[in-house]
């Protein structure tokens, strides 16, 4: 079957509108199109960013002509697809379900409308999906939003109206934090098989981003986003507490993890713990038997004091401290780890209890994971992932940790070149432990001393 081709006039019109649709204060699309290229095509239903070695931005001109009459609406279409890539939605699950796709689109559409609430941007998501059916109502602002919203009642499972209010709060107040992806997904799962597929934007196929240029571009763009952008709230600035509980893992998995942990144990002077009492040398009372270890004897001789008495050697019982032998673990607690964390937390508890391991948790920030919270399966996360925060934290620890274990699913991004050089200069060994199906970023894999894959966790 032949594929319809676009015309040169269609290509020129889309490119012209792309150049004109970006607000003066925005730079994301200019950077993306400059590096990745733009192509109009009928092979995608709306728009897509290819995740290949030479990625391109693909746009369907027919969809644009029908739904993007305003340049601001074209801008929202492109930004929607760009956010999918930046938020790594297409890589969180090997096979995306309809409910997962809808939940991702609901979060992105809400974030875009909350940031671009001006009247010129309204109407795009409204035309695509109706406000009085479920789950379409989650993918668009309610009628009259933001200042006089008419929140729908009596549609969808219990909690639908409250979810819409959280996605699109009245007045669009910045202190009303949006719901998490998992919360939207839980609401959709309540509907069971009654979900009617709405119109979804962008590319929802599970593709891996292998191009380091595109990955670096995504990171640079998101670092410069304003603090009120949804991505920053959910993945950079706002920390949330999540309760996953702990689950047991199989004996084979624990055996593999235990072997890696033994290799990573570091002798750390300066972090000591007390041990049982032992006999140690001490000075006893004075006696006439010469004692060459009596360090006061030279002083008495210089002072002209009698040398007939000597301090006698003795021993006493004392509780001594010894250096702490522990493995230091950095646990990835980003959003893509949600299916694994309860098992990984349960895997680490015995070793932390026995002082064989100490755990830090990281997403885009690094914090301690104390034993009480570890036992409860309670973590603190920003839901994003940035492996560089691990090394920023690691380089500040004194004395130096010579061996580090990173427990992740592999979706951690690329390492800065400066950090690669410092790791090699300081001879820090990096051990990466991953689930069987994980895929590690090539820059991390290139400097890792070892990459170990665990047997199935469940």
| All structural domains of the chain with their residue ranges | 8-238, 242-267+324-453, 274-322
Q: What is the dihedral of CA 147, 150, 152, 158, to 10 degrees?
A: 50
Tens digit of pLDDT for each residue in 125-147?
A: 999 999 999 999 999 999 999 88
DSSP secondary structure, 3-41, as one string: PPPPPHHHHHHHHHHHHHHS-TT--HHHHHHHHH-EEE-
pLDDT above 50 (res 237): no
Strand 310-332 and strand 266-287: pairing?
A: antiparallel
Cis amide prior to 135 (ω within 30 degrees): yes
Place of tokens 């019109």: 13
Tens digit of each residue's pLDDT (9 = 90 or more) over 34-88: 555 677 888 888 887 766 555 677 888 888 889 988 888 888 888 887 777 666 5
Confidence of residue 335 (pLDDT cuts 50, 70, 90): confident
Q: How far apart are CA 329 and CA 393, in angstroms?
A: 12
In tens, the pLDDT along 158-192 reads: 999 999 999 999 886 655 667 877 788 889 988 87
What architecture (CATH level 2) is domain 242-267+324-453?
3-Layer(aba) Sandwich (3.40)
Question: What is the enclosing helix (H) or strand (E) of 168?
Answer: none
Judge whether 140 and 122 are in contact, CB under 8 Å.
no
Interval 419-434 mean pLDDT: 92
What is the rounded distance in angstroms from the CA atom of residue 414 to the CA atom of residue 443? 6
Q: Output 354 or 14, whichever has higher pLDDT.
A: 354
pLDDT for 227: 42
Measure Cα distances from 456 to 249, 335, 350 in Å.
Answer: 9, 20, 19
Size (the chain), residues: 458
Residue 210 in this model has a pLDDT that exceeds 50 = no
- Contact criterion met (CB below 8 Å) for 200 and 101: yes
- What is the band of 244 on the pLDDT scale with cuts at 50, 70, 90? confident
Provide the 10 A C-beta neighbour count for residue 21. 20
Question: Positive or negative CA dihedral for 298, 302, 307, 311?
Answer: negative
Q: Which residues contact 157 (CB under 8 A, 6 or more apart)?
A: 134, 187, 190, 191
Separation of first and last alpha carbons in the chain: 44
Contact 41, 57 (CB under 8 A): no
Neighbouring residues of 257: CB distance < 8 A, sequence distance ≥ 6:
347, 433, 454
Query: How far apart (Å, rounded) are the C-alpha atoms in residues 45 and 325?
Result: 57
Give φ, ψ of 113 to 5 degrees. -70, -30
Residue 232 has pLDDT above 80, yes or no: no
Report the C-alpha gap between 186 and 162 in whole angstroms. Answer: 13
**Main-chain phi, psi angles of 222, to 5 degrees:** -70, -30
On the question of pLDDT at 397 being above 70, the answer is: yes
Local confidence band at 1 (pLDDT 50, 70, 90 cut-offs): very low
Across 214-223, average pLDDT: 50
Q: What is the pLDDT of residue 235?
A: 42
Residue 167 gets the label, from left (phi > 0), alpha (psi -120 to 50) or beta, of alpha
What proportions of the chain, in percent to the nearest 5, are helix, strand and coil? 40, 20, 40
């Amino acid at each position: 079957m032949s594929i319809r081709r676009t015309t040169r006039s269609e290509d020129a019109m889309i490119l012209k509108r792309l150049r004109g649709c970006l607000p003066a204060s925005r730079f994301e699309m200019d950077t993306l199109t400059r590096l990745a290229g733009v192509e109009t095509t009928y092979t995608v239903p709306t728009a897509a960013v290819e995740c290949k070695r030479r990625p391109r931005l693909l746009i369907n001109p027919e969809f644009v002509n029908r739904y993007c009459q305003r340049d601001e609406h074209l801008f929202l279409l492109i930004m929607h697809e760009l956010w999918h890539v930046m938020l790594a939605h297409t890589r969180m699950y090997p096979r995306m379900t309809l409910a997962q796709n809808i939940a991702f689109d609901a979060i992105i559409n809400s974030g875009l409308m909350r940031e671009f609430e001006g009247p010129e941007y309204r109407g795009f998501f409204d035309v695509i999906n109706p406000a009085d059916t479920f789950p379409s109502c989650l993918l668009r602002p309610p009628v009259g939003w933001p200042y006089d919203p008419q929140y729908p009642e009596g549609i969808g499972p219990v909690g639908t109206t409250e979810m819409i209010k959280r996605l699109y709060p009245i007045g669009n107040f910045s202190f009303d934090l949006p719901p998490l992806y998992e919360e939207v997904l839980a609401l959709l799962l309540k509907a069971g098989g009654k979900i009617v597929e709405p119109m979804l934007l962008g590319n929802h196929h599970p593709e891996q981003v292998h191009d380091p240029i595109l990955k670096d571009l995504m990171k640079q763009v998101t670092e410069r986003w304003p603090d009120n952008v949804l991505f920053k709230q959910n993945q950079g600035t706002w920390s949330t507490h999540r309760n996953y509980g702990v689950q047991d893992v199989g004996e084979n998995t624990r055996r593999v993890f235990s072997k890696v942990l033994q290799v990573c144990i570091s002798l750390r002077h300066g972090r000591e713990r007390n041990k049982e009492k032992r006999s140690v040398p001490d000075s006893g009372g004075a006696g006439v038997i010469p004692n060459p270890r009596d360090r006061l004897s030279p002083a008495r001789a210089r002072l002209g004091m009698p040398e007939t008495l000597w301090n006698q050697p003795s021993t006493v019982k004392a509780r001594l401290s010894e250096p702490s032998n522990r493995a230091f673990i950095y646990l990835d607690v980003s959003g893509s780890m949600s299916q694994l964390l309860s098992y990984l937390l349960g895997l680490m508890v015995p070793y932390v209890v026995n002082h064989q391991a100490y755990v830090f948790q990281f997403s885009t920030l690094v914090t301690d994971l104390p034993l009480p919270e570890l036992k409860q399966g309670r973590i603190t996360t920003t839901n994003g992932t940035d492996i560089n925060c691990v090394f920023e934290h690691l380089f500040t620890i004194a004395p130096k940790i010579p061996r580090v274990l990173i427990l992740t699913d592999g979706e951690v991004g690329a390492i800065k070149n400066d950090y690669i050089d410092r790791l090699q200069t300081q001879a820090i060994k990096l051990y990466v432990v991953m689930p069987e199906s994980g895929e590690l970023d090539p820059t991390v894999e290139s400097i890792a001393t070892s990459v170990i894959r665990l047997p199935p966790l469940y």
